Structure formats: structure tokens, C-alpha cells
Amino acid sequence: MRPSPNIGPAGGAPDESAESPEGPSAAASTEPSTGTRWLPAGWLAPLLCAAVVRGLWLMSAAGGAFRGDEPAYVGLGRAWSELGTYTGQWPPLHPGLIAACVSIFGDAGETAARVVLTLLSVWSCAWLMVLATRAHSERAGRRAGWIAALYLPLVPFAHVLLSEGLAIALLLPACALLLAVGTGELRGQRVTAALLAAGVAVGLACLTKEACLFWLGALSLWGVCSLGRPSDGMSSRPSAAGLRRAALFLGAAAMTIAPWSARASADQGSLQVLGRTAGLNAYMGWNRDYINFDLVGLDVPKAGAPGASLRASLLEPPADMDQWPFQFLPDVAERNRVAVATGRAFIRAHPGYFLRTRAVKVADLLTPLSYMTRYLRMPPPDPEASGIKATGGYCSVLTSRSFSIPLTIVSIAMVMALALLAAYGALLVPLAPGAAGLVAVACAATAPLALVVAMSRFRAPGEALLIVPAAAALASLGRPPMGGLFRRSLFALALGLLLWSWLLAVAPVLASLEKL
């Protein structure tokens, strides 16, 4: 068997010395714990802080309606509640949550759904603490709690009625269960139960957001390599046990998705796994015009700022290039198929334009902007308007310049700090076996979106998971980095990618600040 160069016999790294000579897992168990069985020591304060931060933003969000997909989700949920059946094309779980809240609380249903999302966001913070504890140490777990509590860029998903908050709340416990299996923390039938629960959770995440299918695929591949780790904890190669456990996880997820797929296929008259959003995304992402919803309402300068002219030249379409129109064919499946096929034909006809715009899309996915900065610069909802025209951003004091400017700057700095810490933590800090692989899963599940429509919202689940290696990095401050040339080269590559992205983001960031 070939030992992994960076992982020691007990699952930690040979050079993990400050916490424990045996590695991060052992370090976690040797730290004194004064908490209860249900709430380890030092967890209450970050969770309370998370609740307070989200509660403050919730108060500013209640009564308003946010621009974007929120009105559509609310419309689907209300229609479901009143008509008794779901009539949307998006996966049904998030509209189902809104429908349930509307059925129980009536006119206050949207506010109730925001409160549920806020509570789920605190739940997600707790799971990040579990993950960081398993991946590194109890100290990292506490750090993860504080980062998650105070990390403003993800706070909008705790109250804006988009599907990301629910998806994160399902994906994180699934990752924690899988990591517990991968590190050998669970034994016997508990392993089977954990794999089933993780599969159901990821299946439910897919029923929340179609893009979670990428998570399902990436976690299954990770599982083949990491879930069947032998008793010495060293190999990360595929094994029969890993294949079996990954198959069980995948089977549970497939069975969770299947009833919805069957109903959607019966309605449509042809196979439909989750939703039919690929066509519209192909129209927006594989076309001449550049679309990025982080930049709604912004006039991004094409010169005068570092990277502005480079960004503009990368996005400049050839003079003879046409925007292909979206054909609203009567049959939705056919409409979707034709749009994807037209998008593919566009890529084949313009490979150079496609590649250089993807360089900007990667930068868009790593942008320091976020939905927090987007909503902070939007005007409050217009009380005179109704329906979708009433949508805007936060109400009350948050939209005043004395709050929105510092909060925007802090949000931008937080994204940059998290990215740097996460890259350092994932590559140069010893983590428990499989934990660094989970970071790779987050990247692999998020990266395909850069090939189509990239914006900060689409990275949210992966961004949440990056809090784990960032917390490990903070918990290891002052210790020499581990890893050989390969890991250091990967870290240098990650830094280069971030610098590239942030160079191209200077112009949009300046435009965003000017808009406040």
C-alpha cells in the first residue's frame, strides 16, 4: 500500500505537533471538554451570535420583497398552498417550504418562511462547527462557529426566500455524516444509517436546487475514494468498501429524488430528473450578451480602474456576432432541448469568445461581491407598487449610507479573507482523512457553474463549506505550514487564481461602492 505523504498513521499529518503528535483527530479528543453531551464547550456563544446577527438582518428584511427570483418562489409557494398542488418547473422543496408556511400562517407566511430560513442558517452554523471539529480540532470547531456567525456575505441566504439557505442546511449535515464515516468515527450499522441519512439529505438538497446534482456526483466520487478507508487510515485510493458505501449513499439520494422525477416526467410526457432550467441558463451563459446578476443596476467602467480594460476586452464580442434568441416553444421539454442545443452550437461557432469569457466567469464566481453587497445597494421596496414591481433590497436603516458603505466594505473584505484562509487551510494545514477531499468536492461542485452563468449566489453552498478549512487555518496560526512541493504549488496556483479574479473584480467593486 502506498502511504499518503501528508497523512500520518492515525489519520493526521506527521508534522501535526502543536495540537497532538497523533494528528488532528487525536487532537480533538485530547482537548479538555467542559460542555454537555449535546452542546460542547464554547459552542453556545457563536450560535447565539449567529442568531442575533441573522435576527437583526431579518428585521430589516421583513415586510419587503427582494429583487430577483424571490417573487417567483413566493408565487409558486402561495399557488401551491391555495391550489393544493405544485405547478412549478423548479424543484419543489423550497416552494414547498413557503407553501407550508403560507398554509399555517396565512398572510404572514412569507415572514414565517424567513424565520424558518434564519433558524436553518443557525443550524448550518452548528454543522460547520461539527465539520471543523471532525476535520481538525475542537478549537477549529469554535473558530468555524464564529466565522459562520459573523460572515456577512452568506447572511442574505438566512432570510431572502431563495433556495440556497435550505440547500446549505441540507448539504452540510450530509457532509458531516460522510466525514464521520470516512474518518472511522462511526461503526457497524451506524455507518449504514449515516450513509442513508446523508443520501436522503443530499437528495432533498437536489429537490431544493437543481445544481446540487453536481454535489451528488462529486460526493459520490469522493465517497469511492474516502469512505472505504482501511484500518490504517492511510490509503485514499478507490476500494470495494468505498464503492459499496458510495453506492448506498447514491441509492438513498436517488430514491429521495425519484418520486418527484416520476411525477415531473408523467406531467411532461418525457423523462425529467429535476427541473428544466438548463435551457434558460444556456441562453444566458452561452450567448453573446454578458449576464451576471451580481452586477444588476451597475454601470461597470471599461477603463480607468485596474483590470477594467482587460475585463472589457475579454467580454467584447466580435462585431459580427449575433445574440441568439430564446424560442418560447409551446412544449417546455422541447424548448429546453432546443435552447441547450443552440447554446452548444454557439460554443462550437465561437470557441475563442467562449474561452475568454469563461476566464471572466471564473473571476465572477470568486468575486468579492456578494448578494449582501447587491441588496445593500438596492433601493428599499416601493410601497406604492405591488407585486414584482414592489421588489428592492433591505428596508430601514441598512440602506442608509452610514450603514451600507461600511457593511459593503466589510463584506468584500470577508470574502477575500475567507478565500485566502480556506486555500491555506485546505492545502497547508493537516486535516483529518477525507476532509481536504470535501473541500475539493465543494470546488468541483461549484466550478461547472462558471462554464454557464457565474455569480456569487451560485457559489453559496461551497462558500459555506470553505469555512471549515478557513477555521482550521485560524486554529493553526503560528505553526509552520505542512506539505511538500505539490501542495505548495497548488497553494500558489490558488493564490494566482484569486489574484486574477480580484483584478477583474476591481471595476465592478468600484461601481458597486459608487452606487451606495
Partner 1 sequence: MDADPELRQPAVRGEPSSVGAVQWLLALSLSALAAATIALGVAGAPSTEELLRRAQTPDDPRAQVQAMHALILRGYWEEHPLEELTRHLESSSVEVRDFVTRMHGSLLRPR
Distance CA 379, CA 395 (A): 8
Give the residue carrying C-alpha cell 417567483: 72
Q: How far is the CB of 146 from partner 1 (least distance, A)?
A: 32
**Amino acid at site 365:** L
Distance CA 17, CA 6 (A): 13
**Residues between 183 and 242 that touch partner 1 (CB under 8 A):** 184, 187-189, 191-192, 195-196, 199, 228-233, 235, 239-241
Distance CA 20, CA 151 (A): 29
**Residues between 334 and 353 that touch partner 1 (CB under 8 A):** 334
Q: Based on the shown chain and the rule CB under 8 A, indicate whether residue 1 belongs to the binding site for partner 1.
A: yes
**Residues between 436 and 465 that touch partner 1 (CB under 8 A):** none
**Residues between 275 and 334 that touch partner 1 (CB under 8 A):** 329-334
Nearer to partner 1, 118 or 183 (CB): 183
Distance CA 309, CA 506 (A): 11
**Residues between 156 and 175 that touch partner 1 (CB under 8 A):** none
Half-sphere exposure of 192 (CA within 13 A, CB side): 2
Q: Based on the shown chain and the rule CB under 8 A, indicate whether residue 270 belongs to the binding site for partner 1.
A: yes
Q: How big is the CA angle at 331 (ends 326 and 332), to the nearest 5 degrees?
A: 65
Nearer to partner 1, 195 or 372 (CB): 195
Q: Based on the shown chain and the rule CB under 8 A, indicate whether residue 111 belongs to the binding site for partner 1.
A: no
In this chain, which of 32, 269, 351, 480 binds partner 1, going by CB under 8 A?
269
| Reduced 3-state DSSP string for 456-494 | HHHHHHHHHHCHHHHHHHHHCCCCCCCCCHHHHHHHHHH
Q: How far is the CB of 268 from partner 1 (least distance, A)?
A: 5
Distance CA 205, CA 388 (A): 27
Q: Based on the shown chain and the rule CB under 8 A, indicate whether residue 104 belongs to the binding site for partner 1.
A: no
**Residues between 372 and 401 that touch partner 1 (CB under 8 A):** none
In this chain, which of 3, 33, 52, 267 binds partner 1, going by CB under 8 A?
267
Distance CA 214, CA 211 (A): 6
CB-based contact 15:479 (threshold 8 Å): no
| Residue ranges of E strands in 249-333 | none
Compute CA distances 297 → 294, 394, 516, whole Å: 9, 15, 11
Q: Based on the shown chain and the rule CB under 8 A, indicate whether residue 87 belongs to the binding site for partner 1.
A: yes
Q: Based on the shown chain and the rule CB under 8 A, indicate whether residue 257 belongs to the binding site for partner 1.
A: yes
Q: How far is the CB of 10 from partner 1 (least distance, A)?
A: 12
Distance CA 509, CA 295 (A): 9
Give the residue carrying C-alpha cell 445597494: 377
Q: Based on the shown chain and the rule CB under 8 A, indicate whether residue 251 belongs to the binding site for partner 1.
A: yes
Distance CA 188, CA 191 (A): 6
By CB under 8 A, the count of residues binding partner 1 is 58
Q: Based on the shown chain and the rule CB under 8 A, indicate whether residue 179 belongs to the binding site for partner 1.
A: no
**Which string of x and - marks every residue 31-70 that binds partner 1 (by CB under 8 A)?**
----------------------------------------
In this chain, which of 255, 349, 385, 440 binds partner 1, going by CB under 8 A?
255
- What residues make contact with partner 1 under the rule CB under 8 A? 1, 75, 79, 82-85, 87, 89, 184, 187-189, 191-192, 195-196, 199, 228-233, 235, 239-241, 244-245, 247-248, 250-252, 254-255, 257-259, 261-271, 273, 329-334
